[in-house]
Every structure is written in structure tokens, then in C-alpha cells.
Amino acid sequence: MGEKAVIKTDGRYANGFRGNLYPEIPSKADLSLEVKLLEATDAPDLKLLSPTEKIALATCKKEQGNVLYRCKAYNYAILKYSTALKITESISKDDIRSEEENNLMEMNVKCLNNMAASMLKLEHFDAALTCCSEGLMYQPKNVKALFHMGKVLALQDKYSEAIQTLRKALELEPRNKTVLDELSTMMKKHLFLGCFPVVFGIKLSHYR
């Protein structure tokens, strides 16, 4: 105890774009922080936690992942979402009520969707597709999972599958502008590639 350390952090993980009025910290400012260790505790033992405590801990990890995602710290966000999923997986359905089971499923899907979004940002397309597929196993009609899957498939040059997937999402939420815009853009690109398989003498590999 009592050990001191200096932590240097990028502005994104400190006061961000807003900065701070008191003490005065400019926007996007990098910070050097001196910290002192006052107390150390072991991580909670999942085997000793009740289902309610596990759900609360998993929710905390998910929220931490959301903060990291907004800070564009996608690798760290994925770690938090993955930890939340490991916690929920340790909960036996026999120990919880049906309402809690539904809440647990919702949390799993949200974590998987957020992991897929993070994987997309990092261009880890296969991993993102796996997250989407797992999310759809819980909720086959989850629009966000379908949306992310459509984007991944398009980035893998699987335009027909991508369009079909986004159409499913649009059928579920016809007024979802995000899905509609993505589908429109994708169909235009698909049509262009179909009509012009050779551009400036370069043949596109997925149209032979």
C-alpha cells in the first residue's frame, strides 16, 4: 500500500472534447495523473455471487464497454463486453425467474451487438460476423444484429447476401432510416458493380 505511480493518458480517456472548467483543462488535453494505492481487493469470485449480483456485475461491465466504445477504445470495449458475457454464462437458468432470464438474454444480445460494432471498427469482419450470428441465435428478429451482419457481408463483397439480410431488417422496421439508407447505398453499389464488372481495365474478383 502507499505506492505511487504517474499515469499518462490520451485526452480521449480524460476530459475528452469538452475539457473541464474547474480545474481548467483544455479540450482534448493529454493528462499526467499521479495516483496513490490506498486499497487493494481481489476480483469477485463468480462462484460466490448470487444471480442478482452477477447480473449487476455484468451490467456494470457492459456499461464500461459502452463508455470505451464512445471513446473509440474498441479493443478495450470488446474486453468489457466479453467479460460481461462470461459472467452471464455462469448463471444457471434454474436459479433465476423467467423475467430475469429475459433480461439476461437482452443483455447478451446487446453485448454481442456492441462487440460486432467494435469488431467492425477494427475491421475484424469474421469475428464481427460471429457475434452477429450468436446474437441472432438469441433473437432471430433483432434488427441491430441483422444490420451489422449486412454491413459485414457487404465488406466481404457478399452483396447479394448483404442485401437480403438488410431487407429482412427493413421488413421488421420499415421506418428505420439507418437500415434504409444502408440498403439503398448497398443496392446502388451492387448495381454498379453488376453493370460494370471491369473498371479501368481491372476486373473485380467477385464478378467473373
Give per-residue pLDDT as tens, 74-130: 999 999 999 999 999 998 888 888 888 888 899 999 999 999 999 999 999 999 999
Confidence (pLDDT) at 30? 81
Contact between residue 111 and residue 127 where contact means Cβ atoms under 8 Å apart: no
> Does CATH place domain 50-140 in 1.25.40.10?
yes
Give per-residue pLDDT as tens, 140-174: 999 999 999 999 999 998 988 999 999 999 999 99
Distance in angstroms (rounded) separating the CA atoms of residues 74 and 165: 25
Confidence (pLDDT) at 1? 78
Position 196 confidence tier, pLDDT thresholds 50, 70, 90: very low
Domain boundaries, the chain: 1-41, 50-140, 157-196+203-208
Position 199 confidence tier, pLDDT thresholds 50, 70, 90: very low
Residues 6+ apart with CB under 8 A from 203: 197
Distance in angstroms (rounded) separating the CA atoms of residues 86 and 102: 17
Give per-residue pLDDT as tens, 35-77: 888 888 877 788 888 888 999 999 999 999 999 999 999 999 9
Pure H helices in the chain: 51-70, 74-89, 98-121, 125-138, 143-155, 159-172, 177-195
